[in-house]
Amino acid sequence: MSIAPNVTVIPAKAQTDISRSKYQQLRVAAYCRVSTEQEEQQSSYQVQIAYYTDLINRKKEWSLVGIFADEGISGTQTKNRTEFKRMIRMCKNKKIDLVITKSISRFARNTVDCLEYVRQLKDLGIGVIFEKENINTLTMTSEFMIALYGSFAQAESESISKNVSWGKEKAYREGKVQFQYKHLLGYKRGDDGEPEIVPDEAETVRLIFKLFLDGYSMKEIAITLKSLGKLNKYGDVEWRSNTISRILQNEKYVGDALLQKTFTVDCITHKIVKNHGERPMYLVTDHHAPIVDRDTFNRVQQELARRSSKRKISDKTVTEQGKYSSKYALSELLICGHCGTPYRRTTWSARGKKQIVWRCISRLEHGKKYCPDSPTIKEESLHKAIIHAINNYYSCRNDIARILKANIGTVLECQGQEEIISIENRLKEIDQARNDLVSLIASGGCDEDKLDSEFSRLYQEEQQLSERLEMLKSQNKTSAETQAKLDKIMHMIESEKFELETFDNVLIRKLIECVKVLGKTEILVIFKGGYEVRTDIE
């Protein structure tokens, strides 16, 4: 016969509070936070600090470790909340026994973060008291309530985020523009709150646009700005290529503003991404004073697109267009007159000597299969031929001046000429009609009242036509000031002596549209505007 064991049940003690020992006070920390830096929120921030200081000091069993407060910081993430992280470090170092805070939404608006930190502290034997929800994390048997309240807090953040996004989008639709002057070279906030041009910085911006159109690469522009001692927005002479690129693409320099170029993916991660069409964008034109003119800005955008479309020559099966080269202008301009493929600069080595030549890419990569007739041209001879073509082009300036002057004179003479002739003919008809009426009066063959009415009508028409004729003739005359300017331009064209002696990549890009290799001894230089010059290669 077995004897039943004698079991005595020792009931658990109810843990309604945390206690270090009978004689030691609990080291208590309070955490408070406000979400914005507005004046009324700053007042709330000070009130919270005063409240927790009084609350903890009134309890004899509690000892105040510190008030940890983040001001003007979002609660959706902890990475930017420096005081919160400092409090957690002190907890891990066993310097805090209890944390007290107003609510879960003050502690964290992210459910995941909220539960993670509550678990960490609970494992350390540290409780968190949420006053509003009346929760003490050490006395709870389930995390359900914390997760529930944390979800509410997160939902509230998401709702606020949606309201903020809606408000921003409404402002965008109304054309309200916010400038980030801290990062925008060339502008500052004016006394009226509107963008104001900073002359020195604007000069740097214009120089960047000019250098780019002259063929400089982003890196070369950065080096040039540093050598000239030009300061960036942060007062430094160090320039980066990506900074130059952003300036060249920024529509604000032409007086426009493109809104919602970026957007926040969600309110928890705060990740900002570039808008590639996921959200609508809003373009406000002529919003403020421009630094560069619209034509220059548009040409820069075209050149950016052209350069980015250039492809690396890597596929041997298909001849590519090549990549943009700021160092050699001919990499963009020199093409084969037989197959239309660009030429590439190549180094030949023979008998220990190096020689620079230009060869058709199609011929270079595929042999004579696609382009059997393209010649190889020495760079030195090619440069001399192009210089000769440019000098030949400018030697025609006297003819160009005469044509230009004749064209201007023709345009001035033709303005309103047809209307002038028409009015003069009508005035002659009116004069003849008046003479005919006088003859009728002399013969007594008509009613005098009707004649008076007809005389009045002819007089009014004559006055109106005379005024119009005088205005047209006045417009048709070149003013003394305009004529002086015209004479000055003509004098400059006729007297300016120009002769290029050395090959200049920047000048070549400005003047020449294309250079076609017609054969081993001849090239065709096509200037911008369509003027063509054939020249021999020596």
Q: Which of 199-213, 258-272, 378-392 has the lowest mean pLDDT?
A: 258-272
- Residue 27's φ and ψ, nearest 5 degrees, are -85, 110
Give the pLDDT confidence of 12-36 residue by residue, as tens digits: 555 444 545 556 788 999 998 776 5
> CATH number of the domain that 213 lies in?
3.90.1750.20
Tell me, yes or no, whether 399 and 432 share the same domain.
no
How far is the C-alpha of 84 from the C-alpha of 270, rounded, in Å? Answer: 18
Tell me the CA distances in angstroms from 140 to 16, 41, 150, 288, one per residue in order.
10, 32, 15, 60
How far is the C-alpha of 336 from the C-alpha of 374, rounded, in Å? Answer: 7
Decide if pLDDT at 119 tops 50. yes
Decide if pLDDT at 329 tops 70. yes
Tell me, yes or no, whether 397 and 334 share the same domain.
yes
Q: What integer pLDDT is reported at residue 263 of this predicted model?
A: 59
> Among the three residues 126, 160, 194, which one is the final residue of a domain in this structure?
160
C-alpha triplet 332, 338, 339: angle, nearest 5°: 65
* Three-class HEC string of 355-369: EEEEEEHHHHHHCCC
CB-based burial label for 160 (10 Å; 0-12, 13-18, 19+): middle
- What is the separation of C-alpha 469 from the centre of its chain, rounded to a whole number of angstroms? 51
Q: What integer pLDDT is reported at residue 458 of this predicted model?
A: 79
Residue 29 bridge partners (DSSP): 66, 99
pLDDT band per the 50, 70, 90 thresholds, residue 93: very high
Tell me the CA distances in angstroms from 17 to 128, 140, 142, 487, one per residue in order.
11, 12, 17, 99
Decide if pLDDT at 345 tops 80. yes
Q: For residues 366 and 319, is the Cβ–Cβ distance under 8 A? A: yes
In a domain, 470, yes or no: yes
Tell me, yes or no, whether 117 and 218 share the same domain.
no
Query: Where in 488-527 does DSSP place strands (E)?
Result: 512-519, 522-527
Please choose, from the candidates 382, 378, 384, the residue with its C-alpha nearest in 3D space to the C-alpha of residue 353.
Answer: 378
Side chain identity at residue 512, one-letter code = I
Token pair for 238: 């160090």
Residue 277 bridge partners (DSSP): none
Tell me the CA distances in angstroms from 135 to 101, 109, 139, 483, 492, one per residue in order.
10, 16, 8, 90, 89
Helix, strand, or coil (residue 138): coil
DSSP structural state of residue 30: E
Q: What integer pLDDT is reported at residue 315 of this predicted model?
A: 42
In a domain, 170, yes or no: no
Tell me, yes or no, whether 64 and 118 share the same domain.
yes
Query: Range of 203's domain?
Result: 181-303
What are all long-range contacts of 216-224, with beta carbons under 8 Å and residues at least 24 apart? Answer: 216/326, 216/506, 217/241, 217/324, 217/326, 218/242, 218/244, 218/245, 220/326
Instruction: Residue 71: count other Cβ atoms within 10 Å of its Cβ.
Output: 15
Q: Which of 20-29, 55-64, 142-151, 208-217 has the lowest mean pLDDT?
A: 142-151
Tell me, yes or no, whether 79 and 214 share the same domain.
no
Tell me, yes or no, whether 497 and 471 share the same domain.
no
Tell me, yes or no, whether 281 and 207 share the same domain.
yes
Please choose, from the candidates 55, 1, 52, the residue with its C-alpha nearest in 3D space to the C-alpha of residue 30.
Answer: 52
* Three-class HEC string of 196-252: EECHHHHHHHHHHHHHHHCCCCHHHHHHHHHHCCCCCCCCCCCCCHHHHHHHHHCHH
In a domain, 7, yes or no: no
> CATH number of the domain that 146 lies in?
3.40.50.1390
Q: For residues 441 and 451, is the Cβ–Cβ distance under 8 A? A: yes
Domain count, the chain: 4
Tell me, yes or no, whether 500 and 379 share the same domain.
yes
Over residues 146-153, mean pLDDT:
54
- Could you tell me which residue, 148 or 329, shows the higher pLDDT? 329
Contacting residues for 526 by C-beta, under 8 A, at least 6 apart: 512, 513, 514, 515, 516, 532
Q: What integer pLDDT is reported at residue 267 of this predicted model?
A: 47
Q: How is the beta sheet containing 334-336 ordered, strand by strand? A: 334-336, 512-519, 522-527, 532-536
